[in-house]
Amino acid sequence: MKQLHFSYILILFLLMTGQTLSAQFTAQGTIVDEEGITIIGASVLVKGSSSGTVTDFDGNFVVNIPTNKATLIISYTGYSTQQVPVSAAKPTVNIIITSSSQLLQEVVVTGYGETDLNTFSGAATKVSTDIVAPAARSNFAESLEGNVAGLQVSQGSGQPGAFQDVQIRGLGSINASSNPLYVIDGIPIFTGNVGDVSTTSSPLAGINPQDIEDIQVLKDASATSIYGSRGANGVIVITTKRGKAGKAKISANVQTGYSDVSLDDKLKPLTGNEYVELFTEGLVNRSDFTEAEAIARIEQSYDLEQNTDWFEEVTQRGRFTNANLSASGGSDDLRYFLSAGYQDNEGTILGSEFQRYSSRLNLGTDLSDLITINLNASASLTEQKTVPTGGTFANPVRAVFRLVPLLPIRNEDGSFDQSYNLGYNPVAEAELNKRQSNILNLLGTLSATVKIPFVDGLTFEPFLSYNSVQGTDEVFLPPTSGAGNPLGQGIADNDTQNNWLVRNSLKYKTRFNDAHGVDIILGMEAQEFTRINIEATAENFAFANLTTLNNGADPTFIGGERTANSLVGYFFNGNYNYKGLVYANGTYRRDGSSRFGSDNRYANFFSFGVGINLDRFDFLASSNVITQLRLRTSYGQNGNQAGIDDFASRGLYNTGNDYQGNPGTLLTQLENPTLSWEVNKPFNIGLDVGLFDRINMVVDVYSRRTSSLLFEQPISRTNGVEDINANIGELENRGVEFTLNTQNITSNTNGFTWSTSFNFTTNVNEVIALPDGDFADGQRFRRVGQPWNTWFLNGYDNVNPENGRPQWFVDGDKTEITETYNDSEPYEQGTSDPDFFGGMRNTIGFRGFSLTAQLNYRWGQKIYHRWHSFTHTDGSRGLGSTGNVARSVYDRRWQNPGDITDTPEFVVSRNFGGRNASTRFLYDGSYVSLRDVILDYTFASDLLRKVKFGSVRIFAQASNLYIYTKDDRLERDPRTDVSGIIDQEIPIPQTITFGLDATF
């Protein structure tokens, strides 16, 4: 094969050099797209020769042909390559090129400008609107999971609108944020939790996914270094839809359905009878009760006739509705996109809900031939109801697994029974309490592109934006609820996060000598984030329907605080290409941030990358087999400063530590004057291969080393604080990303199509350096050479078959066992990072029908259930109302000498330590989930034309229909947040919806 290629090249070479000088002529022409718009910078190569050129600003080209006839190869990003014959007799051609059917993206939007993918040395993945728009989810980031190689979305909670923990290319930070930077239409935005009331919220959930044109996930140095101190963990660039000149297009979309949550039989809470059976045995096992006495004892506490299924009581079928209307269009000098959207997404746990009202106006207008103005304005309001999480009494998910089934929900008189769980009856709490958090998200940008006269290709682009995220939380806990008992409580919390941005850039784009293409961006920007928070609480309320603070007789708390940080950046980006064949990209950025000490306030960032388009070289240019072959590499340095306090470097005494109603201050933070950015050095080699125009393959091999990690370094408590903010240690992530897009069957006569997108990522995280050596950190051990997220737990070794007592390995040698927990030592137990993860999306089409199925997988991660030490107590917590145990304790408990099991003898109110932290509660979290299934039908266009519709599509969609879990012991959905810790969150629901899209 290799020889064949070589001879082919040789023949080409001979042909080129052996040609006669008999005739030559000048070919010329114009290249336009299907809509007649001229194409600037298209590559024009003379087949079989080294000569070629690119089109100018009017789409014109002129090329010298050494023979009297030739074939021109026209190529341009996003369009099919064409071969056009020219001859001395017909030297002028006007060429219309058509959009490519290739699945790969063609333009990379970096937020500072657009780059032709064909001359881009970085790693970036585009996610189309087709993936995020139809999903019945509130936060578009949820839908990225499984669709982008290298990107993991860790969804811990099924709360609608929840924050999504996103990591690109592994854990890049320890105590600062490891989440990517989000940029909407050029503005880096605030994406953290808003307000104090909502347990999980995200301003990203305010973005209507239907407004999104596309999402670019930027991963390596070439792609992200222009973001300087904020680019280390990748950048997600969201571009919203824009109008195009032409007839107005109106789209309407309605989608409705419901969501459910279900439990496997092996996970259902114990029934009343099972509880009595188990606890009777547990009391008898204490040997001071007979069976009859034991039952009598349980009867003292509970009504044995009761049988409450707490799972049924606190869950509900949630409804889902999405409705959207948009219009776009415009004239040559005014283009618009307008939209309005509504979503109602009710959770599956009583008291959880999310609603969104959104609107957007994107306008573009040409003031003159030289000046174009763009205005983007969007407003969204989200209204979210959340429930408390974690170990709190008010958490309904905790109640499902902790409340004894013999407890009634209501008293005989119909009132709620609030005599247990500290008064927190979960059904009563859901019905009586109000926990509402609203976020109003306003975002406006005004930008311009000013062509500088007399200098072709030079533009000045000023950019202004203002973003205000206003969280308004209201909590009302009436005196009748457990949380409000005895006086009732109200909380009002206003949390405003504003940021403004000014950016000025000069862009220069030129082509010279028909061969050299140069793009330059030079600019500076300043951004300031301000947070203002005001919170007040009152107690002593009389009326359940009068919930504002004025109705509370005792104002109990008022707080207000303000904080800010500012950032200044200067940036340069340059791209050079030679005839589109080889190219180089370089970036430099200098950033200053208020977050760091004056010694370390500024830092420099850079990247450099090169690439080669082998498919454009003569030997491949006409190949029908290899339609694309690109090799690229990049290296650089960027930084991270997200997720730390605005004043993390200062030594601080905080106010608010009051006594006797007088102001008090306490030491809260030690000073570190040298605190600085995390430094990330990404290296990437990528290969893009296209075969037969039907197969596209992208392989990236990367490493990124992050040093000077921002870290809350634990110190001796005798220093008066628990830790100090420091830059310590180094982490490295190494990995391989593989994406394969294939059109397995393209539409032929019978109208059947099948395409597949598959991606696979394996990432290895490794601690490279720790300043004070390896250390134990609670249930983790941080060791050089191991992943950061390595578990450190006592090893559990089933129960002693003789006596039913729990046993632990004395240490990691696993040679000795002990029945005394304190005699065993914790040791390393694997990591919560997956070995590999990814997704596969198959779409089958047949005459207007299409069926899409998305499978996501994640494999090899170890996850820990923090609260199993309360549901797997083996009776040690006694007969308390929150002392119910998991079904597995009932199913697998040791009962007789010789029983081999992992669950100790059940003994009421005796603590043999089985509930202590150990590998008993560590599980293999590997799973494959059927994430989405979408079936749709698009009506034939000739039929619609008669009724004046552009297109009509109906669809049915289902999420999370099935999940395969590797570990039989695991007593929950294996999807956790990024920590790998299960924390009694709302389960992720199954959702089924039906919808209609129409354009006219």
Partner 1 sequence: MKTFFNIIFLGVATCILLPSCSDEFLEQTPEQSLSVDNAVVDLISLTAAVNGVYSNMQDANVYGWDLPLIPDLRADNVYVSQQNAGRFIDFGDFELTDQSGRPEDEWTDMYEIIVNTSNIINRVPAATFLPREQEGADQLLGESYALRGLTYWNLLRMFAPPYTNNGGDSPGVPITNEGTTGEIIAPSRESVAVGYQQVISDLITGIDLMTTNDDGRLGKSAAQGFLAKVYLYQEDWVNAETQATFVISDDKYSLYPDSSAWFGSYGSNFGTEDLFALQNLPADNFGVNSIGGIMDQNGYGDILGTQDLYDVYSTSDYRRSAMVFGDRVDGESGVYFLSPKYPKGELGEDYIKILRLSDVYLIRAEARAETGNEDGAREDLNDVASRRDIEYEDSADSGDDLIEAIILERRKELAFEGDRVFDLMRHKRTWTKFRSFEDEVISWDNDQLINPIPRAEINVNPNITQNPGY
Instruction: Work out whether 882 is an interface residue with partner 1 (CB under 8 A).
Output: yes
SS3 category, 815: coil
CA atoms of 551 and 387, how far apart (whole Å): 24
CB of 571 to partner 1, least distance (A): 13
Structure-block tokens of residue 38: 């001229």
Q: Are 850 and 843 in contact (CB under 8 A)?
A: yes
**CB-nearer residue toward partner 1: 197 or 934:** 197
Instruction: Work out whether 966 is an interface residue with partner 1 (CB under 8 A).
Output: no
**CB-nearer residue toward partner 1: 402 or 841:** 402
**CB-nearer residue toward partner 1: 94 or 657:** 657
Instruction: Work out whether 22 is an interface residue with partner 1 (CB under 8 A).
Output: no
Q: Decide the pairing of beta strands 922-924 and 927-938.
A: unpaired
Instruction: Work out whether 901 is an interface residue with partner 1 (CB under 8 A).
Output: no
- Applying CB under 8 A, the span of 36-44, 99-107, 662-670, 970-978 interacting with partner 1 comes to 662-670
CA atoms of 564 and 329, how far apart (whole Å): 40
The binder of partner 1 chosen from 715, 853, 954, 998 (CB under 8 A): 715
Instruction: Work out whether 909 is an interface residue with partner 1 (CB under 8 A).
Output: yes
Write each residue from 576 to 615 as x if it is in contact with partner 1 (CB under 8 A), else as -, in one continuous string: ----------------xxx------x--------------
**Phi, psi (5° rounding) for residue 534?**
-130, 130
The binder of partner 1 chosen from 5, 90, 286, 945 (CB under 8 A): 286
Q: Which residue has the tokens 């089409």?
A: 845
CA atoms of 234 and 763, how far apart (whole Å): 15
Write each residue from 540 to 579 as x if it is in contact with partner 1 (CB under 8 A), else as -, in one continuous string: --------------x-xx---xxxxxxxx-----------
CB of 250 to partner 1, least distance (A): 35
CA atoms of 44 and 64, how far apart (whole Å): 11
**CB-nearer residue toward partner 1: 270 or 908:** 908
Structure-block tokens of residue 535: 């919170």
Q: What dihedral angle (degrees, nearest 10) is formed by the CA atoms of 159, 161, 165, 169?
A: 130
The footprint of partner 1 on residues 779-838 (CB under 8 A) is 821-822
The binder of partner 1 chosen from 420, 541, 837, 906 (CB under 8 A): 420
The binder of partner 1 chosen from 301, 494, 707, 901 (CB under 8 A): 301
**CB-nearer residue toward partner 1: 262 or 654:** 654
Instruction: Work out whether 9 is an interface residue with partner 1 (CB under 8 A).
Output: no
Return the closest-CA partner of residue 986 out of 314, 349, 197. 349
Q: What is the DSSP letter of 267?
A: G
The footprint of partner 1 on residues 717-746 (CB under 8 A) is 717-722, 724
Instruction: Work out whether 80 is an interface residue with partner 1 (CB under 8 A).
Output: no
**Hey, what amino acid is at 479?**
P
The binder of partner 1 chosen from 716, 748, 815, 896 (CB under 8 A): 716
CB of 892 to partner 1, least distance (A): 22
**CB-nearer residue toward partner 1: 550 or 716:** 716
The DSSP string of 115-182 is EEGGG--S-EEEEEHHHHSSSS-SSGGGGGTTTSTTEEEE-----TT---EEEESS---SSS--SPEE
The binder of partner 1 chosen from 665, 747, 803, 941 (CB under 8 A): 665
Q: Which residue has the tokens 């030491």?
A: 667
CB-based burial label for 942 (10 Å; 0-12, 13-18, 19+): exposed
The binder of partner 1 chosen from 654, 747, 803, 941 (CB under 8 A): 654
Instruction: Work out whether 96 is an interface residue with partner 1 (CB under 8 A).
Output: no
Instruction: Work out whether 377 is an interface residue with partner 1 (CB under 8 A).
Output: no
Instruction: Work out whether 444 is an interface residue with partner 1 (CB under 8 A).
Output: no
Cα-based distances in Å from 823 to 108, 795, 827, 904: 58, 12, 13, 18
CA atoms of 376 and 400, how far apart (whole Å): 46
Write each residue from 466 to 505 as x if it is in contact with partner 1 (CB under 8 A), else as -, in one continuous string: x------------------xx-------------x-x-x-
Instruction: Work out whether 911 is an interface residue with partner 1 (CB under 8 A).
Output: yes
The footprint of partner 1 on residues 221-250 (CB under 8 A) is none
Instruction: Work out whether 662 is an interface residue with partner 1 (CB under 8 A).
Output: yes
The footprint of partner 1 on residues 845-874 (CB under 8 A) is 870
The footprint of partner 1 on residues 913-942 (CB under 8 A) is 913, 916-917
CB of 515 to partner 1, least distance (A): 35
Instruction: Work out whether 655 is an interface residue with partner 1 (CB under 8 A).
Output: yes
Instruction: Work out whether 631 is an interface residue with partner 1 (CB under 8 A).
Output: no
Structure-block tokens of residue 686: 């990528």
**Phi, psi (5° rounding) for residue 717?**
-65, -15
**CB-nearer residue toward partner 1: 705 or 920:** 920
CB of 861 to partner 1, least distance (A): 24
Instruction: Work out whether 714 is an interface residue with partner 1 (CB under 8 A).
Output: yes
CB of 441 to partner 1, least distance (A): 18
User: Which string of b and e fits 604-637 if b means at least 16 CB within 10 Å?
Assistant: ebbbbbbbbbbbbbbbbbeeeeebbbbbbbbbbb
CB of 777 to partner 1, least distance (A): 7
Give Cα 801 to chain centroid, integer Å: 46
Handedness of CA 792, 176, 173, 185 (dihedral sign): positive
The binder of partner 1 chosen from 524, 687, 764, 961 (CB under 8 A): 524
Return the closest-CA partner of residue 396 out of 423, 425, 417, 419. 425
Q: Are 875 and 397 in contact (CB under 8 A)?
A: no
Q: What dihedral angle (degrees, nearest 10) is formed by the CA atoms of 395, 400, 406, 412?
A: 60
The binder of partner 1 chosen from 66, 462, 643, 830 (CB under 8 A): 462
Instruction: Work out whether 776 is an interface residue with partner 1 (CB under 8 A).
Output: yes
Task: Name the helix (H) or strand (E) containing 568.
Answer: strand 552-578
Instruction: Work out whether 964 is an interface residue with partner 1 (CB under 8 A).
Output: no
**CB-nearer residue toward partner 1: 667 or 768:** 667
CB of 92 to partner 1, least distance (A): 47
Q: Are 201 and 95 in contact (CB under 8 A)?
A: no
**CB-nearer residue toward partner 1: 218 or 407:** 407
Give Cα 917 to chain centroid, integer Å: 30
CA atoms of 124 and 682, how far apart (whole Å): 13
Return the closest-CA partner of residue 353 out of 387, 324, 380. 387
**CB-nearer residue toward partner 1: 37 or 666:** 666
The binder of partner 1 chosen from 670, 691, 928, 963 (CB under 8 A): 670
Return the closest-CA partner of residue 296 out of 872, 889, 879. 879
CA atoms of 139 and 132, how far apart (whole Å): 9
- Applying CB under 8 A, the span of 159-167, 415-423, 797-805, 920-928 interacting with partner 1 comes to 415-423
The DSSP string of 396-453 is HHHHHHHS-TT--SB-TTSSB--SSGGG--HHHHHHH-EEEEEEEEEEEEEEEEEEPT
Instruction: Work out whether 209 is an interface residue with partner 1 (CB under 8 A).
Output: no
**CB-nearer residue toward partner 1: 660 or 748:** 660
Instruction: Work out whether 428 is an interface residue with partner 1 (CB under 8 A).
Output: no
If one counts every other C-beta atom within 10 angstroms of the C-beta of residue 503, the result is 21
The footprint of partner 1 on residues 165-184 (CB under 8 A) is none
The binder of partner 1 chosen from 85, 664, 771, 897 (CB under 8 A): 664
CB of 454 to partner 1, least distance (A): 24
Instruction: Work out whether 422 is an interface residue with partner 1 (CB under 8 A).
Output: yes
**CB-nearer residue toward partner 1: 10 or 502:** 502
